[in-house]
Amino acid sequence: MTTFAVRLDAVTRRYGRVTALDTVSAGFRRGTFTAVMGPSGSGKSTFLNCATGLDRPTSGRVWLGDTDLAGRSENETTVLRRDRIGFVFQSYQLLDALTVADNVLLPVRLAGRRPDPARLAEVLAAVGLTGLGERRPAELSGGQRQRVAIARALVVRPDLICADEPTGALDSRSGHRILELLRALVDDRGQTVLMVTHDPVAAAFADTVVFLADGRLAGELPRPSADRVAERMTSLGEP
Ligand SMILES: Nc1ncnc2c1ncn2[C@@H]1O[C@H](COP(=O)(O)OP(=O)(O)OP(=O)(O)O)[C@@H](O)[C@H]1O
């Protein structure tokens, strides 16, 4: 097994005349938590989309574990994404008509596999939602809804959990608990987490913060503190 859950090699993504990502190379080791930060328009979403196969680089390569995403058909990439990456979004993206259990099991059903009740119980326990499987999302707090989304991300045993502003819709206390949960998934279960955030406090939960500016890598900060992250963002022109 390769050391990296995901690796980008000289990835460039242009949209017409705009170079959203400019020769970006980066590797994310298994069992690590990385935050991606940068001013608005610096290329964070493009980076995440290229790293997870949602978008294709104009040039350069992306590996998901051992798998080179270049030259894969759209169908193959969709299956890889579904089976090997867990996504967590700011807006949770749960289906209101389904129970918590059915939301969590959705990726399993979409893959045509039989849901395993033991696995369901395990991931609900991992996110602290034991006993809430029959609730609907509307009957949960924001923090609990995000836990459902994290359980859904975990259920397929992904190589990578990709979180886009996972605490953006939460009050600071619930957000803090979600970040502690992501941290614990890395420390206790060896998960790999890649998180885009605007919040230096959130970024400080990561092992390393990677900075983007104008589509280029603009350094990284190991063992970040919120103050040092905020300082670095100010130097990149973020108010
Ligand atoms: N589909 C697209 N078509 C044209 N230009 C795009 C497209 N997607 C992104 N861009 C441009 O590429 C650059 C990087 O955008 P991107 O969304 O990756 O930045 P970001 O750091 O995620 O921004 P934000 O923090 O505001 O969400 C911007 O100049 C943006 O306008």
CB-based burial label for 74 (10 Å; 0-12, 13-18, 19+): exposed
pLDDT at 62 over 70: yes
For residue 78, the CA-to-ligand 1 centroid distance in Å is 22
Spatial CA neighbour of 201 closest among 171, 235, 237: 171
pLDDT at 195 over 90: yes
Residue-wise pLDDT for 206-231, tens only, equals 999 999 999 999 999 999 999 999 99
207 and 222 Cβ atoms separated by less than 8 Å: yes
For residue 26, the CA-to-ligand 1 centroid distance in Å is 19
**What DSSP character marks residue 121?**
H
pLDDT at 2 over 90: no
146 and 181 Cβ atoms separated by less than 8 Å: no
51 and 194 Cβ atoms separated by less than 8 Å: yes
For the chain, the average pLDDT equals 95
- Ligand 1 mutation pick, 13, 18, 22, 54, max ligand atoms within 8 A of CB: 18
Q: How far apart are CA 173 and CA 163, in angstroms?
A: 18
Q: What is the pTM of this model?
A: 0.94
CB neighbour list of residue 235: distance below 8 Å, 6 or more residues apart: none
Q: Please count the CA atoms within 13 angstroms of the CA of 75 that sit on its side-chain side.
A: 0
CB neighbour list of residue 227: distance below 8 Å, 6 or more residues apart: 200
pLDDT at residue 46, rounded to an integer: 95
For residue 56, the CA-to-ligand 1 centroid distance in Å is 14
Residue-wise pLDDT for 23-49, tens only, equals 999 999 999 999 999 999 999 999 999
The residue contributing the CA closest to ligand 1 atom 30 is 41
Place of tokens 């967590």: 88
pLDDT at 233 over 90: yes
For residue 65, the CA-to-ligand 1 centroid distance in Å is 26
Joined together, the tokens standing for residue 151 give 């359980």
Q: How far apart are CA 105 and CA 160, in angstroms?
A: 18
Confidence band, pLDDT 50/70/90 cuts, at residue 150: very high
pLDDT at 129 over 70: yes
Confidence band, pLDDT 50/70/90 cuts, at residue 18: very high
Residue-wise pLDDT for 89-125, tens only, equals 999 999 999 999 999 999 999 989 999 999 999 999 9
Q: Work out the number of other CB atoms within 10 angstroms of the CB of residue 226.
A: 14
What is the H or E stretch that residue 123 is in? helix 117-126
Q: What is the mean pLDDT of residues 181-189?
A: 95
Q: How far apart are CA 235 and CA 117, in angstroms?
A: 50
Q: How far apart are CA 94 and CA 99, in angstroms?
A: 10
Please tell me whether the interface predicted TM-score (ipTM) of this complex is above 0.85: yes
Within 6 A (CB) of ligand 1 lie 15, 18, 20, 38, 40-46
What is the H or E stretch that residue 104 is in? helix 100-110
Q: How far apart are CA 23 and CA 216, in angstroms?
A: 7
pLDDT at 1 over 80: no
Which runs of E-coded beta strand occur in the chain? Answer: 4-15, 18-29, 33-37, 59-64, 67-68, 85-89, 160-164, 193-196, 208-213, 216-222
Whether the CA torsion 7, 11, 16, 19 is positive or negative: it is positive
